[in-house]
Every structure is written in C-alpha cells, then in structure tokens.
Amino acid sequence: MNEITLRSAKQVIFGTGTRTELGEHAAVLGARALIVCGRTSLQASGALDELREHLTAGGVAVTVFAEVEPEPSLDTVERGRQALRDADCDLVVAAGGGSAMDVGKAVAGLAGHPQPVAHGTEITGLGRPCIALPTTSGTGAEVTPNSVLTDTVTGEKASIRGHALLPELALVDPELTVSCPREQTAYSGLDALTQAIEAYVSTGANPVSDLLAEESARRIAGSLRAAVADGANLHAREEMALGSLLAGLALASARLGLVHGLAHPLGSLYHLPHGLVCGALLPWVMEYNLGAAAEKYERLAVAVGVRGSPANLVVWARELVDDLGADLDFAEAGLKPEDFGEILPPTLASGSSGHNPRPVDEESVRELLTRLIA
C-alpha cells in the first residue's frame, strides 16, 4: 500500500450556527484579530458585523482588511501582511470564499517570513494562527495546505504550499453560505464536485481519501441543484457545505488531476472564474480518463445514483454542468490554437496534472484543447 498522508486544519467544527463560537475559539489563539475578507459580500450580508461582534464579545480586538479581489494576487497578500504588522495582530480570521481564505491563510502562514511573497517561496515557520470561515461551498480551502495566488508581473497563477498554510481552526457554518448568489453557488459547487472526483481517481488516492471523496460526491450530487434553485434551502446548503469540506479533506491528502492542471492557466489567460472553468472542463477530462479510471467511475456512479456503464457517469456530469449554466464555449471565451504554447507548459508542470489517472503529455493536452474548440 502507498504511503498515506492526511492533512487538515488542526480543528474542524461543522454545523449550522457554529459561527457564534468564533469569539471563544479566537480568544484561545490571540488577542488582536485581523479579519481578511473580500470587498463587498461579507459586508452586504451583515456577516462581517456579526463576526466582529462575536470576536469583540470574546475579548478579541478586531482590525479589518477587506481588500481581497477575486482570483487574488501575491501583492494583496503583501498588503495584508503589512496590515497585520501595522495593527500588531496575532491572529487571522479569514472569512469568505476561496479567495479570501487563500489570502488569509497566506497572510497568517507568512507573517514571520522576512521575504516578499513569491511563487516557489519556501514557507518555513509556523506563522500566526488562522481561523477560516467559508461563505461558499466550493474550494475546501478551510482545510487545505495551499493558496492559489496570481503573480501580477508574470501573470502566472499558481499555488504556494506548506504546512504553515493549514488553518488552526476551520469553522464551517452552512448558514454563512445562504447569501451566496445563484451563479456563485453553481460555480463553486462544481469546483467542489470536480475536486471530489479528481481526488477520487487521483494517483495519490488512498483508502482514507476515497472515503472522503466518495461521500463528498454523494452529498454534492444530491444537493447542488437544490442549493442553486433555492439558496434559502438550509438542508441543501448543509449538504453542500459538508460535501465541500469533505472534498477539501480528500484533495489535501490525494491531490487533484488534469482539470485543475488546466484550470489555472485557462482561468488566468481568459479571466474566467475558477469554478466555471472546472465545471466546464470536468466532462471532457472525465472522458479522457475513462479507460484509466473505469473501476473508480463505476463505484462513483453507484454513489451518485447513476445506473449503467462508467460512460454514463460522464453523461451525468455533462448534464449537470449544462443545467447549471457552466457549459462554457471555450472558443467564445478566447481559446485558440495560437495560445496552446502558453497553456501547455504550466499545465504539464502542475502537480495536479501529475496526479491525473491517465498520464498527461504535450500531445494529449494539445488534442484535448483542440476538442474543446472543435
């Protein structure tokens, strides 16, 4: 049996209403918290004020860094680190979607790091503690040891990784996702489903990640359409939040696959949301992997309630992606053969592509990209 490595936040608390416990948990970890969040949605939903109140009630002083943009940059992490130093904070509370959590984790993990942040930076030391509160059901970033960040100089979008990026506490309250808009619910949900499926068939998959990934896919398959149709459906939101958390735990152990290898270069080149690109690529990559992952697809089909051959699972995925409006026309989005030379090197170099069940080389990726625009 292969070596099994399990990674997670040090503590994970899941449940509706658990956000009210923020103050008591934060008080154990620090006295001055920097809330790292996006520019608008946490404010608009009232969650920012509420989280601030919970922290204050726990005796924790609060400074807010509400400057995280979608698909965030290394520069934003630098500004966040400066805000942490300026306010002399000893704790980060990262609240929001994957972008806010990725920046918050990096600000905390790199707090004591003397150098400016850069891709390839070796993340040493334990940094500051971070509490991650997801407000979307998608990335699972609350339990993963990486942050996806864009270098605005080179345009490169890549992960920084390391033990120091694992949060001290993941506080997953499905009620925080109720205000997530329809489109974002669909896209982030497809990201979570993609992560569950890629972790399940990854070459890094193991008996523990398989349990997590299969259960994740089962819960997401049973609730994503309902969560998109009615955002106030708390049961569907709970199922999605748990599915997303399980997918995060699975990928933190098993890694991902070719969808994620392609999603970063395609996303940054054509400015597409991560979840949309993942969903749109998923059926194509599942088809590519069909021969190499047939046995796993067969088991996954049973888990999500699809009958028949493994190929039917691909049909099911395509229908779900279409229904949720993520059937992206790649040619219309800008993909063209002249760009393949720019897309191929980061795709082939990515650790995700390296864990794809069917080996990936220049010719096969070129062929797949050509099919996307045929």
Comparison of 166 and 190: residue with beta carbon closer to Fe ion: 190
- Within residues 334-373, the interface with Fe ion by CB under 5 A covers none
Question: In sequence order, which residues have a C-beta less than 8 Å from that of residue 374 and are 6 or more positions away?
Answer: none
Shortest CB 263 distance to Fe ion, Å = 7
- Count other Cβ atoms within 10 Å, centred on residue 332: 9
Report in angstroms how near the CB of residue 248 gets to Fe ion at its nearest: 9
Which structure tokens are listed for 331?
Answer: 């040619």
Measure CA 106 to chain center: 14
Residue with nearest beta carbon to Fe ion: 191
Residue among 29 and 144 whose Cβ is closer to Fe ion: 144
Cβ closest to Fe ion, residue 218 vs residue 260: 260
Question: Which amino acid would we find at residue 40?
Answer: T
168 binds Fe ion (CB under 5 A): no
Do 169 and 13 contact (CB within 8 A), yes or no? yes
Residues in region 187-206 near Fe ion by CB under 5 A = 191
Query: Is there binding between residue 142 and Fe ion (CB under 5 A)?
Result: no
- Give the dihedral sign, CA 300/306/309/310: negative
Contact window for Fe ion (CB under 5 A) among 27-35, 183-191, 331-339, 359-367: 183-191
Binding mask 263-302 for Fe ion (x = CB under 5 A): ----------------------------------------
Of 50-58, 184-192, 283-291, 316-324, which segment contacts Fe ion by CB under 5 A? Answer: 184-192
Q: Are strands 61-68 and 32-38 parallel, antiparallel or unpaired?
A: parallel
Please list the alpha-helical segments (H only) found in the chain.
Answer: 22-29, 41-44, 47-57, 74-86, 98-109, 182-201, 207-229, 234-254, 258-270, 274-289, 294-304, 310-323, 330-333, 340-349, 351-354, 362-372
Residues in contact with Fe ion, total (CB under 5 A)?
1
CB of 260 to Fe ion, least distance (A): 6
71 is a site residue for Fe ion (CB under 5 A): no
Residue 289 CA to residue 357 CA, distance in Å, equals 7
Judged by beta carbon, residue 191 or residue 214, the one nearer Fe ion is 191
Nearer to Fe ion, 104 or 261 (CB): 261
Least gap, CB of 256 to Fe ion (angstroms): 7
Stretch that binds Fe ion, among 66-74, 109-117, 186-194, 305-313 (CB under 5 A): 186-194
C-alpha to C-alpha distances, 167 to 103, 121, 132, nearest whole angstrom: 12, 19, 6
Binding residues for Fe ion (CB under 5 A): 191
